[in-house]
Amino acid sequence: MDVSIITINYNTISLLLDAIDSVIFHTKNLEYEIIVVDNNSSDNSESIILHKYGNLVIYVKLSENIGFGRANNEGAKYAQGRNIFLLNPDTILLNNAVKTLSDFLDNNSNAGICGGNLYDNNEQPALSYSMFLPSIAWEINLLFSCRLERLIYGKNAQFNFTNEVRKVGYITGADLMIRADLFRHLNGFDADFFMYYEETELTYRLKKTGYEVYSIPQARIIHLEGQALSGNWKKRTKLSLESREKYYQKTCGKFIIKVCNLIFRINALCKCVMFKFTKNTDKYEYWKFISTNI
């Protein structure tokens, strides 16, 4: 088996069907399997998927919502592929991206993770990766609204316009392909993360072993970002803040954590002032919530 494609469902059946259809339509010239791990959804997904796809899809039903990382770990237990492709349900393949990414891992021994170029629903360039792992540099970059990345890397800071493979800090979790043996060697995603930052923490550990992370622009995928999320924004934001803190605790010393948090607080306060002044109520409320929950 070449590739095991794992996608996590939590009440996203309509999106999931489009994602699976795009995989089946575009994926050619390699042996693959599709594994759907369901986080105890109430969308009748099991009967719908089994009726439509039958044995084409391995359906793993969980008794509770255990989060993104742990659900992928469960899916990996069933994976027979040499490479594992973690694909969000809110994605649509535009070409034979699975083979493109798998071939790259197979032909480059120093590559541990790779991902493609992501596009929004209008097929315009979208966030596909970051050149920095969360760190002091990453926090400074966010403080200046990602201008640091753009100053250093130009328009290729978060999307690969070069048509050439390039090393990056981390691939977004929407379309992350990793060697199966390496995923297992690293014990998969850290179970302490329910959602958010799990892919960056996994990437951090992977890079510590000497492997690199690559953007492969020839693999093209639509990412309908945010459409697979449920719950109110305050709950999701608080969860993201908690995961951020866990990431730093696991990867940095106390002094670095203090510096990162100080920069983040300054960033949140600056954004509050800016959006209050410009009367952007939604963004002001968002950053005000962050500033009071750091």
pLDDT of residue 232: 83
What are the extents of the domains in the chain? Answer: 3-223, 233-291
Q: d(Cα 59, Cα 30) in Å, to the nearest integer?
A: 21
pLDDT band, residue 294 (cuts 50/70/90): confident
- Note whether 19 and 91 are within 8 A (CB): yes
Sequence-distant (6+) residues with CB within 8 A of 162 are 156, 217
Work out the mean pLDDT of the chain and round it to a whole number: 95
pLDDT in tens, 9-18: 999 999 999 9
Which amino acid does the sequence have at 257? I
pLDDT of residue 228: 61
Q: Which two tokens stand for residue 210?
A: 């000497």
CATH top-level class of 3-223 = alpha beta
The mean-pLDDT minimum among 63-67, 165-169, 223-227, 245-249 falls in: 223-227
Percent of the chain with pLDDT over 90: 93
Picking from 122, 103, 225, the residue whose alpha carbon sits closest to that of residue 172 is 225
Cβ-based burial of 42 (10 A; exposed 0-12, middle 13-18, buried ≥19): exposed
Q: Which two tokens stand for residue 257?
A: 């954590």
- Does the pLDDT value for residue 43 go beyond 60? yes
pLDDT of residue 233: 87
Which amino acid does the sequence have at 269? L
- Does the pLDDT value for residue 132 go beyond 80? yes
pLDDT band, residue 201 (cuts 50/70/90): very high
Picking from 179, 16, 8, 202, the residue whose alpha carbon sits closest to that of residue 84 is 179
pLDDT of residue 225: 79
pLDDT in tens, 218-275: 999 999 976 666 568 899 999 999 999 999 999 999 999 999 999 999 999 999 999 9
- Note whether 202 and 186 are within 8 A (CB): yes
pLDDT in tens, 96-113: 999 999 999 999 999 999
Per-residue H/E/C for the chain: CCEEEEEEECCCHHHHHHHHHHHHHHCCCCCEEEEEEECCCCCCHHHHHHHHHHHHEEEEECCCCCCHHHHHHHHHCCCCCCEEEEECCCEEECCCHHHHHHHHHHHCCCEEEEEEEEECCCCCECCCEECCCCCHHHHHHHHCCCHHHHHHHHHHCCCCCCCCCEECCEECCCEEEEEHHHHHHCCCCCCCCCCCCHHHHHHHHHHHCCCEEEEEEEEEEEECCCCCCCCCHHHHHHHHHHHHHHHHHHHCCHHHHHHHHHHHHHHHHHHHHHHHHCCCHHHHHHHHHHHCCC
